[in-house]
C-alpha cells in the first residue's frame, strides 16, 4: 500500500483532559485510517500510487473529476499535519521568529488568538482553521471539508480540525470551548516555528 497511517506523535491519552483518549482513538484509528485506506484504494494500479502525498494533492486539486481522490488524500494529509499541530505541553505563546512575525502581522499575540478563535467558531460546517503564510504575510483562514491551503500554493503553519468528529464526544456542540482549549493548552508552537523556518529557508533559496 503506498500510503500509511502515520503514528500519533504522543500517547493516545496525552492530550487529556482537553481531548480524550476515546476521541483520539476514534479520530486517528477510524477517521484518519479510513481516509488513508480510501486513498490507497483510489490510486491502486495507477501511476499516482508512486506519487508522494503532497504532490498527489497538488496534482488532483484542480481536477474535479477526481474529487473523491482529492478529498481523501487531502484529509489524509490534513490529519497528519493536525496531530503535529498539537502537543501535551502546547499552548502559551508563539516564540522565535514566528512569534515576532505574529506580533508584526496581527499587532499582538492576543489579537492573533482572537482572530483564530473567531474564524474557527464562525466557520460554517466541517473544515479546518489554519495559520498560513500567504505570499510573505501571515493569515488566519478556514477551509471547508477536505480543502487544504497546500492545494492553493499557501504554506500551512498550524491547523485545528473543525469537523464535529474532532470534538463532539468531549465538547458536544460547543466548538468554541474546543477552540479555546486548543489555543490555551494544545497548540504546538515548536511545530509551527519549524514550518515557518522551513518556508523562510525555501524562499531564501529561490
Alpha-carbon distance 171 to 121, whole Å?
13
Which grid cell sits at 196?
Answer: 515557518
Nearer residue to Fe ion within complex by CB, 53 or 200 = 53
The residue count of the chain comes to 206
Q: Is 147 in the site for Fe ion (CB under 5 A)?
A: no
Q: Which of 147, 161, 170, 193 binds Fe ion (CB under 5 A)?
A: 161
Q: Which span (96-104, 129-137, 165-173, 196-204) binds Fe ion, by CB under 5 A?
A: 165-173
Q: Is 182 in the site for Fe ion (CB under 5 A)?
A: no
Q: Which span (63-71, 103-111, 158-166, 198-206) binds Fe ion, by CB under 5 A?
A: 158-166
Which grid cell sits at 178?
Answer: 474546543
Contact 19, 168 (CB under 8 A): no
Q: CB of residue 110 vs Fe ion: minimum separation in angstroms?
A: 27
Query: How far apart, in Å, are the Cα atoms of 7 and each of 27, 176, 203?
Result: 12, 28, 30
Nearer residue to Fe ion within complex by CB, 161 or 170 = 161
Which grid cell sits at 101?
Answer: 512575525
Q: Which span (59-67, 118-126, 128-136, 160-168) binds Fe ion, by CB under 5 A?
A: 160-168
Q: Is 163 in the site for Fe ion (CB under 5 A)?
A: yes
Alpha-carbon distance 72 to 96, whole Å?
34
Alpha-carbon distance 206 to 73, whole Å?
28
Q: CB of residue 116 vs Fe ion: minimum separation in angstroms?
A: 18
Residues binding Fe ion (CB under 5 A): 161, 163, 166
Amino acid at each position: 500500500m503506498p500510503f500509511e497511517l502515520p503514528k500519533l506523535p504522543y500517547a493516545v491519552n496525552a492530550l487529556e483532559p482537553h481531548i480524550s483518549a476515546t476521541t483520539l482513538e476514534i479520530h486517528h484509528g477510524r477517521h484518519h485510517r479510513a481516509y488513508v485506506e480510501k486513498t490507497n484504494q483510489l490510486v491502486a494500479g495507477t501511476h499516482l500510487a508512486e506519487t508522494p502525498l503532497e504532490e498527489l494533492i497538488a496534482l488532483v486539486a484542480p481536477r474535479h473529476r477526481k474529487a473523491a481522490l482529492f478529498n481523501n488524500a487531502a484529509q489524509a494529509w490534513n490529519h497528519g499535519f493536525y496531530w503535529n499541530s498539537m502537543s501535551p505541553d502546547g499552548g502559551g505563546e508563539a516564540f522565535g521568529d514566528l512569534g515576532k512575525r505574529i506580533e508584526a502581522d496581527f499587532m499582538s499575540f492576543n489579537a492573533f488568538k482572537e482572530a483564530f478563535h473567531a474564524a474557527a467558531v464562525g466557520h460554517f460546517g466541517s473544515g479546518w482553521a489554519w495559520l498560513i503564510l500567504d505570499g510573505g504575510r501571515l493569515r488566519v483562514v478556514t477551509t471547508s471539508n477536505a480543502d487544504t491551503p497546500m492545494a492553493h500554493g499557501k504554506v500551512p503553519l498550524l491547523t485545528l480540525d473543525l469537523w464535529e468528529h474532532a470534538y463532539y464526544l468531549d465538547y458536544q456542540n460547543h466548538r468554541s470551548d474546543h477552540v479555546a482549549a486548543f489555543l490555551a493548552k494544545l497548540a504546538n508552537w515548536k511545530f509551527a516555528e519549524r514550518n515557518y523556518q522551513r518556508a523562510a529557508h525555501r524562499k531564501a533559496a529561490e
